[in-house]
Amino acid sequence: MRKTILIADNFEYEITDLRKSLIASGYEVRVVAKPEEIFPLIQRSKPHLIIIETRIPDLNLELLIEQIKGHSNFATVPIALAGNPRTVEEKINFFNYEIDEFFYKPFEAEELIVRLETLLKEAELALEKVPASASGFNGSLAEMTLVDLLQTLEVGKKTGTISLRKNEKEGLTYITNGEVRTATLDNLEPQKALFRMLTWTSGSFSVRMQQHNAPKNISMTTQELISEGITRQYRWKKLTQEMPPLQTIAQKPGRYFENLNKDEFLIAEMVDGQLRFSDIIEKSPFDDIKALRILKKLYENSVIKAVTNSFTKTEENAVAEINGKNGNPPQDDRLKSAFAKVLKHSEHQQISNFERRRIERRREDRSEVDRRMGYRSRQGNICLNKSELMMLRNKLTAEIQQEN
């Protein structure tokens, strides 16, 4: 049975090529230009996907999307918006709607069809599990850490929850009007839970803008937490240099320790040849940074050592592959890079395939958006586009002129 795509767009010349390409690809295409005819056509044609141009005159976009999502027959139909937002406000507003995609015009029909097909496949998978509807966004902690997210929500005085996932752990942070109320992770007390999540630079996040009744358990202001987070990330990175990956199992050559202080002794006693470095940090009674510092000292003084073949089967295969290439045991740095690839892969698998494809697609789309907007892709993750740079320029110029 052919799938139906409904396009609501009053710029006929902009969608002619797209329409032809979709029909050639085996889709049935319905086009509507007048806002009052959109929903009736949706009800008659029962499309599998809806594309709406944002600049249709007299169209109340928010109301239309609410109408579609509020109808039981169409709640799970993917909605994509199409257009060319010029201001930051416009773009940010679109992310408050319950939409699945945004296509910049002019369309590149071939690429757009691939993205539409992905949307349709994901919608089929999603029918097995109806997603919760709350506005928000998802992403990777490699792109935005909890510090970045707190900064964003604090400046915008937003209310919502931030969910972080790393390996098999999930932590939540509750924000009200930009202020952190509390955080949960395993059974840790709220501040410790938050401090731990502040150091996470891999895994995924999900932000949901929704009301909540979380109590106020963290007394530090968000700005203080952001400062703390930047410092902790810096120290964590510095400490984990010259150490084996934290997923390695730790063991000690002998039971007798000399010249250890009370805290070092306690950490050394936790090393049982079963726990990984990361497990010891998490289970210790100390702050994570302190525990890591002690572990590093014990490692450097050879009180403990890393077990070199303490990997999962997948990790073992990766190391064997490197070994096999030259027949010799790998150098430490090559082993570390094998770890890095495999651990990154393992973390990726923790997210469901649906979520992973969504995250990857959004990442690709951002770089494609960057290319279309005319600025080069950077090594960096956050880049201002031309209009934002012009806003900055205008503000500076105005302030300079005021002072003249």
Partner 1 sequence: MRIGEIAVVSSDQGDRGHFLESLCDQIETVNEDISFGRYMINDQLLIHFYGIYPQEDRLSLDLISQKILGYIILFRWGDVNSFRQAQKFADLFTSRYGASVVIAGHVDKNKPGMPKEFESGIPIDKRGVFIFCNISESRSVRKVVLALVDQILDQHNN
Report the residue from 54, 140, 151, 222 that binds partner 1 according to the rule CB under 8 A: 151
Rounded CA-CA distance 109/80 in Å is: 14
Report the residue from 31, 120, 123, 230 that binds partner 1 according to the rule CB under 8 A: 230
Looking at the Cβ atoms of 327 and 380, the one nearer to partner 1 is 380
Q: Least CB distance from residue 344 to partner 1, whole Å?
A: 16
Choose one: 58-66, 204-212, 234-242, 261-269; the region binding partner 1 (CB under 8 A). 234-242
Q: Hey, which residues between 363 and 402 contact partner 1 (CB under 8 A)?
A: 374-376, 379-384, 386, 388-393, 395-397, 399-400
Q: Hey, which residues between 155 and 174 contact partner 1 (CB under 8 A)?
A: 155-156
Q: Least CB distance from residue 149 to partner 1, whole Å?
A: 11
Phi/psi at 182 (5° precision)? -160, 170
Q: Least CB distance from residue 226 to partner 1, whole Å?
A: 8
Q: What does the block give as tokens for 251?
A: 């063991």
Is 238 a binding residue for partner 1 by CB under 8 A? The answer is yes
Q: CA of 246: how far to CAs of 195, 243, 367, in Å?
A: 18, 8, 32
Closest CA to 233 of 204, 190, 200, 189: 200
Rounded CA-CA distance 142/341 in Å is: 14
Site string for partner 1, 205-224 (x = CB under 8 A): ------------------x-
Looking at the Cβ atoms of 317 and 397, the one nearer to partner 1 is 397
Choose one: 33-41, 183-191, 231-239, 297-305; the region binding partner 1 (CB under 8 A). 231-239
Rounded CA-CA distance 366/375 in Å is: 12
Q: Least CB distance from residue 237 to partner 1, whole Å?
A: 7
Q: Hey, which residues between 72 and 101 contact partner 1 (CB under 8 A)?
A: 88-89, 92
**Contact of 174 with 212, CB cutoff 8 Å:** yes
Looking at the Cβ atoms of 161 and 284, the one nearer to partner 1 is 161
Is 340 a binding residue for partner 1 by CB under 8 A? The answer is no
Q: Least CB distance from residue 148 to partner 1, whole Å?
A: 8
Looking at the Cβ atoms of 353 and 397, the one nearer to partner 1 is 397
Which chain residues interact with partner 1 by CB under 8 A? 88-89, 92, 148, 151-152, 155-156, 223, 227, 230-231, 233-234, 237-238, 374-376, 379-384, 386, 388-393, 395-397, 399-400, 403-404
